[in-house]
């Protein structure tokens, strides 16, 4: 029991993730949503509006750190693994919106700000704080905590969005596990 609007939004984000803004046509979206083109315009007014709504609809912003804080153990490897898993599942949920935004950020400046910027940046800040605390506890080597924070986020981001062909035989969850291990080992005091 999906509403008409939902059907259209879903079709739109799907096609946008595949092609680019200009390449996707309203006719195409309507067809994919099993809806007449008119309906689409009646609901969203313009192609631009529709695509903006679609990206917004599928951009999930989660207060990820709240979950982290509840389960934090102040053990580097365990905590990093937790964060990596939560973050990657978040990215996976947002994958299509991310892909679209990455390609078409010019078209949706304020959405880019909201989804691609705020989300990872606030996570980065929390990570930096966490690393600082770990350093204070003498559990982590002395580095500018921004470096591991950014490096860690990059690795996770690419593990989901990146040129997956590179990973090839590697199982994704296995990759996280081992990568986190190496990371934690490199940071441990």
Partner DNA sequence: CCTGGATGTTAGTGAGCACTAACTAACAAA
Partner DNA sequence: TTTGTTAGTTAGTGCTCACTAACATCCAGG
Q: Which is nearer to a copy of itself, 13 or 159 (CB)?
A: 159
- Contact positions toward a copy of itself, by CB under 8 A? 18-23, 102-104, 106, 116-117, 120-121, 124, 141, 143-144, 146-148, 150-151, 153-155, 157-159, 162-163, 165-167, 169-170, 174-175, 178-179, 181-187
| CA-atom Rg of the chain in angstroms | 20
The DSSP secondary-structure symbol of 140 reads B
Q: Which is nearer to DNA, 3 or 169 (CB)?
A: 3
Residue 188 DSSP SS3: strand
Q: Using CB under 7 A, pick the residue from 2, 25, 67, 125 that binds DNA.
A: 25
Closest CA relative to residue 101, chosen from 65, 61, 74: 61
Closest CA relative to residue 30, chosen from 56, 10, 52, 2: 10
Q: Which is nearer to a copy of itself, 7 or 124 (CB)?
A: 124
Give the Cα separation of 32 and 168 in Å (integer).
Answer: 31
Closest CA relative to residue 57, chosen from 1, 111, 135: 111
Q: Using CB under 7 A, pick the residue from 2, 18, 20, 36 that binds DNA.
A: 36
Q: How many residues does the chain have?
A: 189
Contact call for residues 23 and 107 (beta carbons, < 8 A): no
The DSSP secondary-structure symbol of 112 reads I
45 binds DNA (CB under 7 A): yes
19 binds DNA (CB under 7 A): no
Contact call for residues 80 and 184 (beta carbons, < 8 A): yes
Give which of a copy of itself, DNA, none residue 148 binds (C-beta under 5 to 8 Å, depending on kind).
Answer: a copy of itself
Q: Which is nearer to a copy of itself, 60 or 143 (CB)?
A: 143
Q: Which is nearer to a copy of itself, 34 or 46 (CB)?
A: 46
Give which of DNA, a copy of itself, none residue 143 binds (C-beta under 5 to 8 Å, depending on kind).
Answer: a copy of itself
């Amino acid at each position: 029991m999906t509403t008409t609007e939902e059907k259209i939004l879903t079709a739109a984000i799907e096609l946008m993730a595949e092609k680019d803004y200009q390449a996707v046509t309203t006719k195409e979206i309507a067809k994919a949503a099993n809806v007449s083109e008119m309906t689409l315009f009646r609901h969203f007014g313009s192609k631009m509006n529709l695509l903006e709504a679609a990206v917004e609809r599928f951009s999930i912003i989660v207060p990820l750190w709240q979950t982290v804080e509840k389960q934090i153990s102040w053990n580097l490897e365990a905590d990093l693994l937790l964060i990596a898993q939560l973050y990657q599942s978040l990215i996976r949920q947002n994958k299509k919106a991310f892909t679209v935004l990455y390609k078409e950020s010019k078209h949706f400046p304020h959405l880019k700000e909201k989804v691609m910027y705020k989300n990872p940046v606030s996570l980065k800040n929390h990570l930096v704080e966490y690393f600082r605390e770990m350093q204070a506890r003498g559990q982590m080597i002395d580095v500018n905590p921004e470096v591991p924070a950014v490096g860690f986020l990059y690795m996770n981001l690419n593990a989901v969005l990146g040129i997956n062909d590179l990973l090839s035989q590697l199982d994704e969850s296995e990759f996280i596990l081992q990568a986190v291990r190496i990371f934690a080992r490199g940071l441990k005091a």
